[in-house]
Amino acid sequence: MVLQAIKGFNDILPPETAVWQFIEGEFRRLLDAYGYGEIRLPILEYTELFSRSIGDDTDIVEKEMYTFADRAGRSLTLRPEGTASVVRALVQHQLMKVREVNKLYYLGPMFRYERPQKGRYRQFYQLGAEVFGEASHRQDAEMLVMLARFFHVMNIRSAKLHLNSLGCEQCRPAYRRALQDFLAGRREDLCADCHRRVERNPLRVLDCKHPGCREVVAGAPKILDYLGEECRRHFHGLTGLLDEVGLEYEVDPMMVRGLDYYTRTTFEFLAGDLGAQNAVAAGGRYDRLVAELGGPSTPAIGFAIGLERLAMLVDRGQLPVDRPFIALLGLGEKAIDRLFPLRQELARAGVPARLNYRQKGLKNLLKKADRDKVNYSLIVGDQELETGVAILRNMESQEQRSIPLSSLLTEIVEVFNGHQNQ
């Protein structure tokens, strides 16, 4: 039997990897400009970290985690997201003592046992960032403007911002009660999971995908009507700033997100052209989580972008072309041997080059060089070895000129530099 990768786990192959590198490079550049530093996190954590932060009643913790016991019998989980680990690291290394405001970004694979389909995988990649120690609505606005900027740099116009506020521990209880009262009268239309959720965690009902539940939820009370004074001011401060900078958004009062840790601002960037899995980025504020995981009370906000989904939206035409600058065409064993050290020297000089190791006729070699769209070909056969002069051919203009074998490296580097400066 031929071995296959696990369902929902993908290989990313060239040329697709070039798209990923492009995205990752632009992401790092932008986050640097906004003063974030990179954090690299373990992929495995104690299960408790995720159940305590994401929430026991969420789909992620209830159904989607890759959890297993290690050889010592401890329960470990492949991380389903990055935020919990960043908070764990912040608390563990007491980063709040080092800096008042910590801005961290990460990229890497996450794991969720979801039903694989287009845009949804069991191993998927996130580009994420978290800011700790800044409670101002201006930080929320800065993060959203930064994300919008990122989509702009990627030339993605279809991502639309959806916004909500989930209130705080002061205003949430009143909403929770109102929602429970509303749902209690419609129990028979809710799915079995939601029967349980009404008591334990009624906000989760708003996020249920079950058609019956969705219908019930459409008429439910809206959290925005229950926000206290402070939360209302925070939300209006944020939308006011977004209006000022001209970043468009849609307020979506039913958006609760699939994780329990959020307070106040939550957001998603939805891209219509992605189909059913249309959230390309999402996040929000979580002002209580650091304290809940044992750290000092610290406001926080963050987001994560789904790399596969973003890659689907990137127009390949804008990528830098990746092709050898020059093909060294050796005709015969002797010529190939003569070109071998030159190929290594060109690599050292940073000139992308290629050398054939198989013996083929000139016509064949030129045809391949043409197909691969190299800029130049260098032709060396027995005759050139004898006369001590090779032929350099511009593949576009088809002009040819002679170069002494003794000065191949300097001449080619010169042509390459001239081409780069064009």
- The site for ligand HAM (CB under 6 A) is made up of 81-83, 112, 114, 120-121, 124, 126, 128, 130, 258-259, 279-284, 302-304, 306, 308-309
Residue located via tokens 């001011």: 233
**Least distance in angstroms from the C-beta of 152 to ligand HAM:** 18
Asked if 66 and 113 count as a contact pair (C-beta separation under 8 A), the reply is yes
Angle at 128 between CA 122 and CA 134, to 5 degrees: 140
Q: Which is nearer to ligand HAM, 90 or 282 (CB)?
A: 282
**Least distance in angstroms from the C-beta of 176 to ligand HAM:** 21
Q: Which is nearer to ligand HAM, 24 or 345 (CB)?
A: 24
Q: Which is nearer to ligand HAM, 280 or 335 (CB)?
A: 280
Q: Which is nearer to ligand HAM, 298 or 356 (CB)?
A: 298
- Of all residues in this chain, which one has the CB nearest to ligand HAM in the complex? 306
**CA dist 49 to 45, 46, 177, 331, Å?**
7, 6, 28, 63
**Least distance in angstroms from the C-beta of 213 to ligand HAM:** 19
Q: Which is nearer to ligand HAM, 147 or 282 (CB)?
A: 282
What pairing do the DSSP bridges indicate for beta strands 300-306 and 279-285? antiparallel
Q: Which is nearer to ligand HAM, 115 or 371 (CB)?
A: 115
| Neighbour count for residue 422 (Cβ, 10 Å) | 4
Among 252, 221, 224, 245, CA closest to 236: 224
Q: Which is nearer to ligand HAM, 141 or 331 (CB)?
A: 141
| Two structure tokens written together for 283 | 């996040």
| Neighbour count for residue 391 (Cβ, 10 Å) | 17
Q: Which is nearer to ligand HAM, 84 or 194 (CB)?
A: 84
- Residue 76 burial by Cβ neighbours in a 10 Å radius (0-12, 13-18, 19+): middle
**CA dist 178 to 174, 185, 200, 221, 340, Å?**
6, 11, 14, 7, 77
Angle in degrees, 0-180, between the axes of helices 172-184 and 192-200, rounded to the nearest 10: 140
Residue located via tokens 């989580």: 289
Q: Which is nearer to ligand HAM, 10 or 394 (CB)?
A: 10
**Least distance in angstroms from the C-beta of 217 to ligand HAM:** 18
Give the Cα separation of 109 and 11 in Å (integer): 12
- DSSP of 333-390: HHHHHHHHHHHHHHHHTT--EEE--S---HHHHHHHHHHTT-SEEEEE-HHHHHHTEE
- Total count of residues recorded for the chain: 422
